[in-house]
Structure 1
Amino acid sequence: MSEPWSIAGVDLHLDLGTGGRRAGLTDALREAVRAGRLAPGTRLPASRTLAADLGLSRGTVTAAYGQLAAEGYLLARPGAGTVVAPRATAARRPVPLDRPWRPVVRYDLRPGLPDLSAFPRRDWLASARTALTAVDHAALGWGDPRGHADLRAELAGYLGRVRGVRTEPDAVMVCAGFAHGLALVCAVLRDRGVRAIALEDPYLPPYREVAEAAGLRTVPVPVDADGIRVDRLAAADVGAVVATPAHQFPLGVALAPARRVQLADWARRTGGLLVEDDYDGEYRYDREPLGALQGLAPASTVYLGTASKTLAPGLRLGWLAAPPELVAPLVRQRRHTDRHTGILEQLTFAELIRSGRYDRHVRRSRITYRRRRDELVAALPTGLPVTGIAAGLHLLVGLPAGVSESAVVNAARRRSLGLEGLSAHYGRSGRRPPQLVIGYGTPPDHAFRPALRALVDLLHEYPGR
């Protein structure tokens, strides 16, 4: 006999089996506890209530509770009822992953995250309150796969004002971050007959993973001090290019003006698509703001941005601005996957932009991260080359000749210091000078200087050879 019950806030499906009712109830409750469906501390219904719910006698329920209490699965507390005992649940084996996600360390100087303690909670709460008060009931239903019209309008205005993006709200799509936007674009490219896509080399590993998951072949194209080598694209035989013109990750260079023109010309001449990742475009310190590449070739460029660095990646808020002829194919792809981004997050972000709170937060963050960058550069041992410091939330530190990147990264891990080596980001093999990619965005303010001391102490153990 299978019976669901919902008493005192607890929902559970019990299969009482075909044997005796007392034994069936005892076995069903025991299995629910061991499987974790009844968590430690969960309060069970009173015996009289559960008996009425299941059509059993109260004595049957009392006997089952008593048996499980004797076995250590339940605790009967006078005046507090019957609860699941601590640690009564069977230990669960962790599900194995092919790659653990960002192991926790005490001092985190890996790139890729902002200071999450600086998330503007008060501003977000105020914006959420305004948005939730004003939202129409109909907006809580199934929405436009491109995103809510209010946020698309705010993004189109913001991107035009701050990044020089030439777009309209109808050509903007709200997505769940850069990787999600790239996955949608790659799927559309595949359906349009594109077979290969070029990636800057070095690059973020998710670029390759996302593109190849969509069925595209990835072609690494080298990057030098002026950005991606556009002259290598002809031999690459690709239908699209992923580029980071504002701040290349991980080298930190900006795409030179001449290269920008060459890349836009390549797209117009070949019909290829430029996929612009505006990586860390909001954070620049020692140079004039660089407008988006999309402004040079709006008909050939899909521009992608995200709030992962300015706010937090956990919000899962990103956006893309596409050429008009790609909007409908992107909508079809979106409709077949997750439909659209959460409406309350969208409306809250729209209000954050509309109110000016987002601009003020970005300006405050820029000041904080510039100060951190300056402290990091000043603290590093003399003689180590430092590059990529003009923008972003990371920089490169060269290691002495003969020192192994992996040896330094592993030594750091043993001290609970998170570091990354540059070589892990290359798609092509070859000998390169050893370098570390040092992120200065992640630690909260109180932990930043201790993290610097841990880094400097480690680097002093590897003097030049």
Structure 2
Amino acid sequence: MDAMGRSTMPPSEGSKEPSRDSGAPAGSDFLQLDIGEAPSGGRTAWLAERLRSAVADGRLPVGTRLPASRVLAAELRVTRGVVTEAYRRLAESGQIAARGRLGTMVVAAPAAPRAPARDAPVPGPALFDSADRDGAVDLLRALPCRIDLSPGVPDLTAFPRTSWLRAERAVLTDVSRTDLGYGDPRGAPALRRAVVGWLARNRGIRADPDQVIVVAGVAQALALLGQLLRADGIRRVAVEDPGSLGTRQQLAYGGHTPVPIPVDERGLDVAALRASGAPAVLLTPAHQFPTGVVLDGERRRELLGWAADGGLLIEDDYDAEHRYDRPPVPALRSLLPEGVHYAGSVSKLLAPALRVGWLLVPSARHDALVTAKRHADLGNGVLTQLVLARLMDSGELERHLRHLRLRHRRRRDAMLRAVRTHLPGARVHGAAAGLHLMVTFDTHGAGLRDTDLAAAALARGVKAHPLSWHRITPGPPGLVLGYAAGPAHEIDEGIALIGAALRSDG
């Protein structure tokens, strides 16, 4: 209340701001917005959609300055919160951004979805049941779709463009002539030093720059390791089940036979690993894909004992930095440096397109890995390495990670709320960390095929992975759902559409 007894509480979203001229129409010359068109209680969503459409169709081209939120709110006679929330939604999807004194600007237009070929069949259950999983995954990734909940897709709109450009300018200013030649196949010394610092601060790993091999992502790390395994006569490689379809496909392409080892609430079953007789294992101990479980202390000790007895251990640390509700989990490499082949990258932290990762191996294999890397590509692009090194050394990458954690936590929470609302019978797994959730539908029994559910969701405009894609042995049906790539309102809508597909299927 103010001094005259009038309320100072802000009005709700659905109410109008006070106006000196109550008879004036509530509208704005900007985009000819008429608040009367907005549904009751849905003004934020209406305004966000009008802005998004204007960016998409070119009425608001890149570089356009949007009205100040206070100004637009006054013209529409709504609370300022309606406008700021609508702006926030577009900022989260990467279309607008605050530019200091310049105000809020349009910075990117959404890519127009590619139209399918005129005679192309509409993807259905056959896509998800295809024996050619490589082709199915590639086709699903390329399909235009309104809402993408595929796992493994990071928040690409959050890429730190300003910081990257600043670091790139500094690198180009300082770069020497020799830096522009063929580099060390192990990687640029500056990046190898920066990676050592990053791993020490964030993953508890102590290493020397000479031990680091810079690679084109974890995919290349596994390909190079696969060459060494074949040279040693190792063809059978144990993998987590359920586990990553992509890494399993890569092992198979390299001539290896994946051996499934069950995963439970404590992580990989090490007793089953010993019983399998597989001489090597590839696993994700800090945040198992797709279940999200952490390899517990007893299993870690058992696994390190297995490695000490001669087992070859490959640690894929694909997204361990992304955690929300639990303390950090040290990397296995930090506990047994000479017994663990460790791979990591910036694909989930910055962007897969950078194709930059790192590999640390026991000293006995280091020279052979460097030779394999040299013959593969003579080394990664040096300029990108130098820019990344500067981001790591300056602390910009840590600041970016803190920013991502806040965004991802909000989106994770939005997906949890949506699952509770729209998929009430689903069990959620792995919510404490990562960029995805796994949900299972135990109550539906054997009557539900998750490939049918994924196909029905796709028909409604939502991409998701059936859990069976990531299994070798049968198990409960489910979905693997990524939440990092899209804003909260898209996540809620996507889960609602999956719920509708599930009800129609049932």
Name the TM tier (shorter chain).
0.7 to 0.9
> Cα deviation per residue 1:357-386 (whole Å; 9 max; x = unaligned)?
000001100111011111111122334221
Asked if the contact 1:417/1:451 (under 8 Å) is kept, the reply is no
Asked if the contact 2:457/2:497 (under 8 Å) is kept, the reply is no
> Cα deviation per residue 1:252-277 (whole Å; 9 max; x = unaligned)?
111111111111110001x2221101
Equivalent residue for 1:162, pick from 198, 202, 208: 202
1:212-227 paired onto structure 2 within 5 Å? 212-227=252-267
CA distance in 1 between partners of 2:494 and 2:406 (Å): 24
Distance apart, 1:338 and its partner CA: 1.0
Distance apart, 1:462 and its partner CA: 3.2
Q: Partner of 1:310 in structure 2?
A: 349
Asked if the contact 2:483/2:491 (under 8 Å) is kept, the reply is no
Asked if the contact 1:294/1:301 (under 8 Å) is kept, the reply is yes
Q: Partner of 1:196 in structure 2?
A: 236
CA distance in 1 between partners of 2:501 and 2:315 (Å): 40
Asked if the contact 1:165/1:295 (under 8 Å) is kept, the reply is yes
Asked if the contact 1:200/1:243 (under 8 Å) is kept, the reply is yes
Asked if the contact 2:451/2:468 (under 8 Å) is kept, the reply is no
CA distance in 2 between partners of 1:156 and 1:115 (Å): 25
> Match for 2:226: what amino acid?
C
Q: Partner of 2:468 in structure 1?
A: 423
User: Which secondary structure does the structure 1 equivalent of 2:377 belong to?
Assistant: coil
User: Which secondary structure does the structure 2 equivalent of 1:219 belong to?
Assistant: strand
CA distance in 2 between partners of 1:290 and 1:320 (Å): 19
Q: Partner of 1:359 in structure 2?
A: 398
CA distance in 2 between partners of 1:312 and 1:454 (Å): 23
Q: Which has the larger radius of gyration?
A: 1
Equivalent residue for 2:382, pick from 340, 343, 351: 343
Equivalent residue for 1:153, pick from 184, 188, 193: 193
CA distance in 2 between partners of 1:257 and 1:104 (Å): 43
User: Percent identity, aligned pairs only?
Assistant: 43
Asked if the contact 1:275/1:302 (under 8 Å) is kept, the reply is yes
Asked if the contact 2:241/2:260 (under 8 Å) is kept, the reply is yes
User: Which secondary structure does the structure 2 equivalent of 1:336 belong to?
Assistant: helix
Q: Partner of 1:439 in structure 2?
A: 482
Equivalent residue for 1:388, pick from 405, 421, 430: 430
> Match for 1:396: what amino acid?
M
- Alignment of 1:412 onto 2:457: yes
Asked if the contact 1:396/1:437 (under 8 Å) is kept, the reply is yes
Equivalent residue for 2:366, pick from 321, 324, 327: 327
CA distance in 2 between partners of 1:305 and 1:200 (Å): 18
CA distance in 2 between partners of 1:298 and 1:241 (Å): 16
Q: Partner of 2:59 in structure 1?
A: none
Distance apart, 1:165 and its partner CA: 1.3
When the two structures are superposed, what TM-score results if normalisation uses the length of structure 1?
0.76
- Which 5+ residue runs of structure 2 have no aligned equivalent? 1-116, 121-131
> Cα deviation per residue 1:198-244 (whole Å; 9 max; x = unaligned)?
11111212222222333322211111111111101222222211110
> Match for 1:312: what amino acid?
A
CA distance in 1 between partners of 2:169 and 2:493 (Å): 42
When the two structures are superposed, what TM-score results if normalisation uses the length of structure 2?
0.70
Equivalent residue for 1:283, pick from 308, 322, 331: 322
Greater shift, 358-367 or 391-400, is seen at: 391-400
Q: Partner of 1:33 in structure 2?
A: none
Q: Partner of 1:54 in structure 2?
A: none
> Cα deviation per residue 1:295-329 (whole Å; 9 max; x = unaligned)?
11110111111111100001111111111111100
- Alignment of 1:104 onto 2:132: no
User: Which secondary structure does the structure 2 equivalent of 1:125 belong to?
Assistant: helix
CA distance in 2 between partners of 1:457 and 1:319 (Å): 39
Q: Partner of 2:8 in structure 1?
A: none
CA distance in 2 between partners of 1:254 and 1:210 (Å): 24
> Match for 2:467: what amino acid?
L
CA distance in 1 between partners of 2:407 and 2:489 (Å): 13
> Match for 2:342: what amino acid?
Y
CA distance in 1 between partners of 2:501 and 2:278 (Å): 45
1:202-241 paired onto structure 2 within 5 Å? 202-241=242-281
Q: Partner of 1:398 in structure 2?
A: 440
User: Which secondary structure does the structure 2 equivalent of 1:341 belong to?
Assistant: coil
> Match for 1:147: what amino acid?
G
User: Which secondary structure does the structure 1 equivalent of 2:319 belong to?
Assistant: coil
Distance apart, 1:193 and its partner CA: 2.7
Q: Partner of 2:162 in structure 1?
A: 122
User: Which secondary structure does the structure 1 equivalent of 2:322 belong to?
Assistant: coil
Asked if the contact 1:405/1:421 (under 8 Å) is kept, the reply is yes
CA distance in 2 between partners of 1:457 and 1:104 (Å): 17
Asked if the contact 2:315/2:342 (under 8 Å) is kept, the reply is yes
Task: Name the CA shift for 1:276/1:374 in 2 (closer, same or farther; >3 Å).
Answer: same
Name the structure where helix makes up a greater proportion of residues: 2
